[in-house]
Structure 1
Amino acid sequence: MFAVSLGDDQAQLRPLEPWRAEEFLAHMDRGREHIGRYVGLPDVVTDLDSARAHLQRYADKQAADTGRIYGIWLDGTLVGGVLFPNFDAAQGVCEAGCWLEPSATGRGLVTHATRVLIDWAVEERGIHRVEWYVSAANRPSIKVAQRLGMTREGVLRQQYAYRSERQDIEIWSLLADEWRGRPS
């Protein structure tokens, strides 16, 4: 097991594995309304079996090298996470994503955790392009993309049906050379 500090001793990034399903479900229950404003995760994780199945899907993706999921712990409590929903090492392209419960917002945890993931993807795995898909209404997630130095490439108008409403999806990305050339 490993843990990466996210700026102080109270915040850590750790693997989010199937054996943590009960903790994951409790986290979803605490943040269900807030997280579910733009992310479908609370609609998928509704009970212990679905929590375990979701984490198992990511364990299987990690084993196949097609995705990964990590939790963000603050003061020993799971409060959010970051992930690679899609990871294609052969093509050098991945997608990064995130979620966070309201008690942990405004601390830079998602930005810091996503930096750790991107750095690993680019420097260790040779990923050339990191993509970030976000609802055009999700201002906090768009601000994370901006802080990470991503470029807004465009909008897929009414691309995603979410809770009976069509959502515009913004596409943000960064390239390995841009990541390596960023200021410290």
Structure 2
Amino acid sequence: MGNSMVLNQTKQVEAFLQKTVQTISNYLNEITLTKLLAEQEGDDKAYYELLLSNLRRLVVYCEEGLEACRIILNDEPFRKAAAEKTLYRVYHLCIAEYFTPKSDAWYEDSRSAYTGRNSIKFRQTPPPSLKALLLSLESEFQTIREELEFYETDYRTKMIQSN
């Protein structure tokens, strides 16, 4: 892939991560476990804690990816190999964590993508505000995933070939 294409993708990912970090951070800065429990009847405290933990992990991965993109974009000359590695990491950590978090508090129903519905499904009933947040981010995560899928296979191939 050419330098200009990788540069443009790095800029696109930086803008996406900036917006994502801002959105999730704003939510996390305003919400408390008590507020989540008050949103909906029932006592799903452990599940809500798990959801918040997943959100925190996701925002940390996105912050790290954002910082890496900024460093690469500020370097002169542009380092294509470093940018490709960063885009691979963003795909592997941020995108994967959004669609399939480690704790399985939610998951991706891949069949939903064909029906035009949201593909994120929850293991239990989530608080409405948290559900709205995750679903509002889905289309942008989907777009970036499609942009970066190439790096999932290409970067691994390069690493295997260099050994």
The answer, yes or no, to whether TM exceeds 0.5 is no
Larger RCO (CA within 8 A; separation ≥ 6): 2
Larger Rg, first or second structure (1 or 2): 2
TM-score scaled to structure 2, two decimals?
0.31
Structure number having the greater strand percentage: 1
With normalisation by structure 1, the TM-score equals: 0.28
